[in-house]
Chain A
Amino acid sequence: MAHFHIQNLTFSYPNAQHRTLDGVDLTVEKGEYVVLCGKSGSGKTTLLRHLKSVLTPYGSRSGAVLLDGQPLEQVSQHDQARRIGFVMQSPEDQIVTDKVWHELAFGLESLGEDPKAMRLRVAEMACYFGIQDWFHRDVETLSGGQKQLLNLASIMAMHPEVLILDEPTSQLDPIAASDFLNTVRKINLELGTTVILTEHRLEDIFPYADRVVMLEDGRVTANGSPRQVAQLLWRQESQLFAALPTPARVFYGAGGEGTCPMTVREGRGWLTGALENRPITVNEPESAPTLPETGDPALCLRQVWFRYEKDSPDVLRGVELTVPRGCIFAIVGGNGAGKTTTLKAACGICKPYRGQVEIFGKPLKRYRPGELYRGCAAMLPQDPKSLFVGKTLREDLEEMCRDSEQIQTVAQTCAVAGLLDSHPYDLSGGEQQRAALAKVLLTQPRLLFLDEPTKGMDCFFKGKFAKILQTLKSRGMTLVLVSHDVEFCAEYADLVSMFFDGQIVTTDTPRRFFGQNSFYTTAANRMSRCVFRNAVTADEVTALYRKNRGDGQ
């Protein structure tokens, strides 16, 4: 018997014109790993929330949801709490209590478990998830990844049969995200827990999912194995195709034959096989035009040293950085290495105790208070929510500037002109990021800092965001961004710097930078390095493949 059976589910929010879910029919078998994907606003979250009564939104609804053949409304709240685990997006807000051990026990306490049984369950979970080391800590001291793992563990402590995860990794950096997804996969494999997941980082989960369900405007448009869905997306020329793993994208883009590769390993196998016995005539992408030399740099850091407290270790240990004018400059590196601190030091929030920061050739200290942030430099913070103060986006933008014409122009540039009258919190993650960018742009900066701009964005939004950045660059703005997103940097940055151990280790063009690296590089490069040199994006690999096969000429 199916674990979940959704029958012809239709739902619309009160006062909404259109249906958020429109006749959804879906079965999920016991122990299956199902990935639900679709663009933001396609109804993924609404659908997931229908799988647990307490979270079901208000609105008009028809159709039925059956759990083990029993209508969900007839399953008691107590049973639902125990049997259906639900992990949400925000690692921070889901946590209720102040101690890790207490959070682990929260669900069990609510279910009225016997304290002795609870002790064992909590111990078990702490071991399974590797939480022993931070069992006694305050939740406030945990990293985002640890927080989300704690949320997962505290739900698993109730021994649910189904685990529902609503974009659980959207607020995490890629390393924490893939750790988290591996844990989910381990739960699915080792405990047989049914997993239903929405995710925009398909690269990590596509190869492992049993089934992929595609939602578009509240309808199921595809439902099948990852390979079938990938093929369908290619044939429909869907915008979601961009979210597929790189090997699959290269395969379809190059018109490959045979089974579609999903992982880097399979991709390598396919590429070497397809180019076997053919002379490799072109093995390197055409070199990109070099940046024109432009006077003095936009930003220059010389021997910058910084630590947060007198006795704490140095975070920046002699940072040397020169950013030429009019380029997109990316700083990549591990978690907690000090990338964000570098940005803060560059824009004057952190005052280095040694070394000098120059913006447009003028030392930071010589800027009068307030002068720096008017028409010179500005920063887009990691969390766009920290910039919103108004009831509508328009109010927020008017805080910066009274000129409605200018607001219109900037809103158009950032593609938020249609959203001006909505509350900033009602926007999706990607829209919020663009709205925050619009607000920052109203200070008319010549040098813009961006802290993890692509965090929580799906591929479709990322492309849109990158276009905005390129427009800004073409107008002569200098953009410095700090990111974990290797693929994004490879595709759109002009220069990439590696940050490690409080210093900039190396700076180069993305092609040379990622081409030299063998671990810290893009999937496209890892897949193609056995055949081509310095190809770092899917498009480059596709182009090289086509050239060598002699097609498309």
Chain B
Amino acid sequence: MQRDAFSQCHPLTNFLYFLGVIGFSVVIQHPAYLSAGAVGAAVYSLLLYGRPGWGRILGLVPLFVVLSGLNPLFNHYGQGVLFTVFGKPYTWEALAYGMTIAGMFVVMLLWFGCYSRVLTSDKFICLFGRLIPALSLLLVMILRLIPSLTRKARQIAGARMCIGKGVAEGASWKEKISAGMHVLSALTDWALEGSIVTADSMRARGYGGIRRTSFQIYRLTGRDIGLIAWMAVLAAGVIGAGGTGAAFTPVLRIDRPTWGLAAYCLFLLIPPAMQLKEAVQWRISISRI
């Protein structure tokens, strides 16, 4: 993974940022805002994923095309008829609307891709652990259990293969299911055995006594508070400036962009800007040596 300056911030800052960008991209259907969002999300994806990020972005293009083309097949409002399909008009207003919806979907996917990289499970738990302590512990334990169980399942399958009980190539589906059931049954036994030990280990360390506190390795610093304030100012700008309205069918009507668009762009660019700033600082400090 690439090193990312924004990921080093407090989970709350990360969370509010994603709340902002994803929220805005869902609510605002204005094409200028949408394109800005698409560029912002693509840039951040590339920063986070590096070279494989291109694959992710290009992979979304066909999805965008298909989804955009689909809408006019069901939505026949609009005046500019391009051609008719099955006797129904295929209008360019409906196509524009389709592109907006598809764009929104694609941008959301990109943002969620970034979200999962930045807001890892432990950050999520740090944010919501205090609200629902029991649930957050459960989540942590599940996160612990999943990789451990997959590893054990693989181990069991390997061990069974070596005594001639594995799934041979070209086995019938019946054999495959029966082999799978055996692995599952062995895995269940093993996991149950393990869970007794886990329960003992938890009680031995005082679990279930008085109310749990929760340990945090993240600290809300002045920089985080500054960033949050900055995001609040920009978000207020986007909302206050207006000019975000857009209607497609039956008549195309799009507001003229105001300076709210500039505020939106600034909002989107927070992570890349931080990355850039860090890179420049390093360059300067290296050149001083």
Bound Cα distance from A54 to B209, whole angstroms: 11
Q: Which residue of B lies closest to A108 (CB)?
A: B215
Identify the interface centre among B137, B162, B213, B215: most chain A CB within 10 Å of its CB.
B162
Which of B10-18, B19-27, B46-54, B138-146 is the contact stretch? B138-146
Tell me if A378 and B162 are in contact (CB < 8 A): yes
A172 to chain B, nearest CB (A): 16
Task: Verify if A369 is at the interface (C-beta below 8 Å from B).
Answer: yes
B77 to chain A, nearest CB (A): 51
Identify the interface centre among B141, B198, B204: most chain A CB within 10 Å of its CB.
B204
Bound Cα distance from A111 to B182, whole angstroms: 41
Task: Verify if A139 is at the interface (C-beta below 8 Å from B).
Answer: yes
Task: Verify if A500 is at the interface (C-beta below 8 Å from B).
Answer: no
Tell me if B205 and A110 are in contact (CB < 8 A): yes
Tell me if A88 and B197 are in contact (CB < 8 A): yes
Which of B91-99, B186-194, B240-248 is the contact stretch? B186-194
Task: Verify if A524 is at the interface (C-beta below 8 Å from B).
Answer: no
Identify the interface centre among A96, A370, A378, A439: most chain B CB within 10 Å of its CB.
A96
Task: Verify if A435 is at the interface (C-beta below 8 Å from B).
Answer: no
Tell me if A370 and B162 are in contact (CB < 8 A): no
Bound Cα distance from A77 to B152, whole angstroms: 34
Given that A78-B209, A88-B201, A93-B201 are contacting pairs, would A389 and B158 also be in contact in the complex, using a CB cutoff of 8 Å? no
The interface size bin for chain A is 35 or more
Which residues of chain A are near B144, meaning CB under 8 Å?
Answer: 95-98, 139-140
Tell me if A93 and B147 are in contact (CB < 8 A): no
Task: Verify if B163 is at the interface (C-beta below 8 Å from A).
Answer: yes
Interface residues of B in 190-230 (CB under 8 A from A): 190, 193-195, 197-198, 200-217
Bound Cα distance from A440 to B156, whole angstroms: 14
B175 to chain A, nearest CB (A): 11
B100 to chain A, nearest CB (A): 40
Bound Cα distance from A402 to B285, whole angstroms: 76
Which residues of chain B are near A77, meaning CB under 8 Å?
Answer: 206, 209
Bound Cα distance from A110 to B164, whole angstroms: 47
Which residues of chain B are near A370, meaning CB under 8 Å?
Answer: 164, 168
Tell me if A98 and B143 are in contact (CB < 8 A): yes
Q: Which among B159, B197, B209, B216 is the interface contact of A387 at CB below 8 angstroms?
A: B159
Task: Verify if A101 is at the interface (C-beta below 8 Å from B).
Answer: yes
Bound Cα distance from A78 to B160, whole angstroms: 45
Bound Cα distance from A155 to B203, whole angstroms: 12
Query: How many residues of chain B have a CB within 8 Å of chain A?
Result: 53
Q: Which residue of B lies closest to A391 (CB)?
A: B189
Contact with B along A370-388 (1 / 0, CB 8 A): 1001100111010101111
Task: Verify if B155 is at the interface (C-beta below 8 Å from A).
Answer: yes
Interface residues of A in 79-98 (CB under 8 A from B): 81-82, 86, 88-90, 92-98
Tell me if B206 and A118 are in contact (CB < 8 A): no
A328 to chain B, nearest CB (A): 19
Tell me if A96 and B170 are in contact (CB < 8 A): no
Task: Verify if B185 is at the interface (C-beta below 8 Å from A).
Answer: yes
Tell me if A94 and B193 are in contact (CB < 8 A): no
Given that A99-B122, A140-B147, A140-B151 are contacting pairs, would A54 and B215 also be in contact in the complex, using a CB cutoff of 8 Å? no
Task: Verify if A400 is at the interface (C-beta below 8 Å from B).
Answer: yes
Task: Verify if A138 is at the interface (C-beta below 8 Å from B).
Answer: yes
Tell me if A425 and B189 are in contact (CB < 8 A): yes
Interface residues of A in 48-96 (CB under 8 A from B): 52, 54-55, 77-78, 81-82, 86, 88-90, 92-96
Q: Which among B140, B156, B168, B211 is the interface contact of A112 at CB below 8 angstroms?
A: B211
Q: Which residue of B lies closest to A381 (CB)?
A: B159
Bound Cα distance from A82 to B205, whole angstroms: 7
Interface residues of B in 118-145 (CB under 8 A from A): 121-122, 137, 140-141, 143-144
* Other A-B pairs beyond A115-B216, A118-B213, 7, CB < 8 Å: A54-B203, A97-B137, A111-B206, A373-B166, A383-B159, A386-B159, A443-B163
